[in-house]
């Protein structure tokens, strides 16, 4: 449950707001007629007393979302070209602290992240969200619409920032003092892309579990399906997976138990969490059926499947294409999206609709040639695997990124790889002055998993229980941007008051007999 926060001491207004609070509801409603923003049509304006449930448009959301602060809600659409448009919402709290917050999306969607928008408004940001240029969780809108792909790849967040800041100023009578971004997964990629392509859009960015190196991520995801013998995405009526390579979901607990047997103790404590999965040299041979053994074990084909899953993808030129699946992450049920009987929907949508511009495709022989094609076409310049953050850094921008080490959809090892790419591009081994990566042992994709993994990441209710910058990554970002206080660690909160301190890369989380500590 989302506990409503008292006003955090550090998150004071950046300067006092002169607007007469009593006039805000009336002032809100006039926006319907007074807002004149480039390429933008105002669809609806309402003032919402809190707490309230509101109807949400589009096909993604359930019918109601809670608003946790009294606010002015503006629904609008920005035409980005003659064949593309971004639907967006502004949630403008009555008590505004002078800050702007844009939020991102997930997967191949298409869905305003209302939870994140509400979270931002509850912390007194002028909070925005968009549909990323198309409605719905799938990628069908990409077909024959390269400008919709461009919105998805880079433009939706940019117009969210440009138009959103103008709208904020029109309502409150002055420009936001600082601008922030919050997103995870595809949202993490969008935040990274913003820092690379539009370095003036945000002063601070939180980019969780970023889907950077998107083309290779889509390729790796497709290859995982190939390793387990899947051929068909869910929307094309997949046949049952009868491949000898396939490992049924019911067998994975056996696999996970063996992985823990081999690797759980590496971090100094047997607690079900592999703090550093890159140290886990898992050998699946131990699971292979002995002569005469027919249950509780794997066939040689299945053992080979595990070898493939837990090996990095290497190109024909010998270069790394994408890191391996993290041992331990297969225990998260979401892993079935990649390792289950159906070909990964995001890869299928991306290849069919954005890359090939076809409605159906045979994925049976998915392989390195598909990844080479993704690289060659790189629709919308989506790759987002580039270290050139000079301009963002020179403006004083601050970047916080985090990644669950038990992430079942995107390897956290890729976030280390991104860090190293930026460091080598900028010619500096440490990025501490503007870019910090926190690796989160036990956490799944963006949130959840094992242990205390709530630290204000705002992607789901219940994550934002502590309002200090030491325990809340969005508040930590504000503190860094506005007070120069860079976060050394992030503390996660869990059930029954449990906590764990998370380390910034390249420090390691080590159990020293009492709690975990961070060491070089």
Ligand X SMILES: *[C@@H]1O[C@H](CO)[C@@H](O)[C@H](O)[C@H]1NC(C)=O
Point out the residues that are catalytic. Answer: 185, 407, 445
Coil, helix or strand at residue 249: helix
Asked whether position 378 contacts ligand X by CB under 6 A, the answer is no
* 496, 513, 514, 520: which one binds ligand X (CB under 6 A): 496
Of 188, 184, 182, nearest to 213 by C-alpha is 188
Vertex 348 angle, CA 344 and 352, to 5°: 180
Minimum CB distance to ligand X smaller for 304 or for 357: 357
The single residue listed with the structure tokens 């999965």 is: 277
Residue 60 DSSP one-character state: S
Asked whether position 304 contacts ligand X by CB under 6 A, the answer is no
Q: Which residues contact 428 (CB under 8 A, 6 or more apart)?
A: none
The single residue listed with the structure tokens 């491949």 is: 243
Binding mask 127-156 for ligand X (x = CB under 6 A): -----------------x-x----------
* 6, 18, 250, 290: which one binds ligand X (CB under 6 A): 6
Minimum CB distance to ligand X smaller for 18 or for 495: 495
Nearest approach, Cβ of residue 85 and ligand X (Å): 6
Asked whether position 279 contacts ligand X by CB under 6 A, the answer is no
Nearest approach, Cβ of residue 510 and ligand X (Å): 23
Binding mask 400-439 for ligand X (x = CB under 6 A): ----------------------------------------
Asked whether position 2 contacts ligand X by CB under 6 A, the answer is no
- Based on the number of CB atoms within 10 Å of its own CB, is 61 exposed (0-12), middle (13-18) or buried (19 or more)? middle
* 22, 62, 295, 362: which one binds ligand X (CB under 6 A): 362
With left for phi above 0 and alpha for psi between -120 and 50, is residue 348 left, alpha or beta?
Answer: alpha
The answer to whether residues 510 and 267 touch, using CB atoms and an 8 Å cutoff, is yes
Asked whether position 483 contacts ligand X by CB under 6 A, the answer is no
- Give the C-alpha separation, 87 to 85, whole Å: 7
Token pair, residue 8, equals: 């955090």
- Give the C-alpha separation, 160 to 132, whole Å: 9
Asked whether position 32 contacts ligand X by CB under 6 A, the answer is no
Asked whether position 237 contacts ligand X by CB under 6 A, the answer is no
Asked whether position 41 contacts ligand X by CB under 6 A, the answer is yes
- Give the C-alpha separation, 38 to 15, whole Å: 28
Alpha helices (runs of H) in 98-213, residue ranges in sequence order? 114-122, 146-150, 156-172, 186-197
* 38, 279, 281, 390: which one binds ligand X (CB under 6 A): 38
Asked whether position 377 contacts ligand X by CB under 6 A, the answer is no
Asked whether position 159 contacts ligand X by CB under 6 A, the answer is yes
Minimum CB distance to ligand X smaller for 210 or for 452: 452
Binding site for ligand X (CB under 6 A): 5-6, 8-9, 38-41, 44, 46, 55, 79, 81, 144, 146, 159, 162, 357, 362, 364-365, 467-468, 495-496
């Amino acid at each position: 449950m989302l506990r409503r926060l008292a006003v955090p001491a550090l998150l004071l207004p950046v300067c006092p707001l002169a607007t007469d609070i009593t006039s805000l509801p009336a002032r809100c409603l006039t926006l319907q007629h007074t807002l004149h923003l480039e390429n933008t049509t105002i669809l609806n304006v309402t003032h919402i007393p809190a707490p309230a449930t509101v109807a949400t448009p589009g096909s993604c959301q359930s019918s109601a979302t809670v608003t946790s602060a009294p606010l002015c809600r503006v629904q609008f659409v920005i035409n980005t070209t003659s064949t593309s448009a971004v639907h967006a919402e502004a949630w403008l709290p009555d008590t505004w602290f002078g800050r702007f917050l844009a939020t991102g999306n997930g997967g191949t969607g298409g869905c305003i992240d209302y939870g994140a928008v509400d979270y931002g408004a509850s912390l007194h940001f002028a909070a925005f969200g968009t549909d990323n240029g198309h409605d719905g969780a799938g990628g069908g809108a990409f077909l024959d619409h390269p400008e919709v792909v461009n919105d998805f790849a880079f433009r939706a967040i940019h117009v969210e920032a440009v138009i959103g800041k103008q709208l904020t100023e029109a309502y409150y009578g002055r420009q936001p003092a600082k601008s922030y971004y919050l997103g995870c997964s595809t949202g993490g990629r969008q935040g990274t892309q913003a820092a690379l392509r539009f370095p003036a859009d945000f002063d601070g960015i939180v980019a969780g579990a970023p889907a950077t190196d998107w083309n290779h991520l889509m390729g790796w995801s497709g290859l995982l399906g190939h390793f387990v013998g899947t051929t068909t995405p869910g929307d094309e009526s997949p046949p049952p997976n009868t491949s000898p390579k396939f490992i049924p979901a019911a067998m994975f607990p056996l696999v996970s138990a063996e992985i823990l047997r081999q690797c759980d103790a590496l971090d100094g404590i047997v607690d079900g969490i592999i703090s550093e999965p890159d140290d886990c040299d898992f050998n699946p041979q131990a699971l292979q059926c002995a002569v005469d053994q027919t249950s509780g074990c794997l066939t040689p084909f299945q053992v080979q499947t595990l070898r493939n899953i837990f090996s990095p993808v290497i190109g024909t030129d010998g270069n790394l294409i994408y890191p391996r699946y993290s041992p331990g992450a297969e225990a998260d049920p979401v892993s079935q999206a990649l390792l289950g009987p159906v070909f990964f929907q995001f890869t299928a949508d991306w290849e069919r609709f954005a890359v090939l511009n076809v409605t159906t495709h045979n994925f049976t022989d998915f392989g390195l040639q598909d990844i080479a094609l993704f690289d060659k076409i790189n629709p919308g310049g989506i790759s987002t695997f580039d270290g050139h953050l000079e301009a963002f850094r020179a403006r004083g921008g601050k970047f916080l990124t985090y990644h669950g080490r038990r992430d079942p959809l995107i390897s956290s090892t890729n976030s280390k790889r991104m860090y190293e790419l930026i460091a080598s591009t900028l010619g500096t081994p440490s990025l501490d002055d503007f870019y910090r990566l926190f690796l989160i042992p036990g956490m799944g994709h963006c949130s959840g998993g094992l242990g205390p993994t709530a630290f204000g990441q705002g992607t789901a209710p219940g994550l934002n229980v502590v309002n200090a910058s030491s325990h809340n990554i969005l508040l930590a970002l504000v503190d860094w941007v506005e007070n120069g206080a860079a976060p050394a660690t992030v503390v996660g909160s869990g059930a029954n008051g449990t906590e764990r301190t998370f380390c910034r890369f390249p420090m390691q989380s080590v159990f020293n007999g009492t709690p975990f500590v961070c060491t070089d």
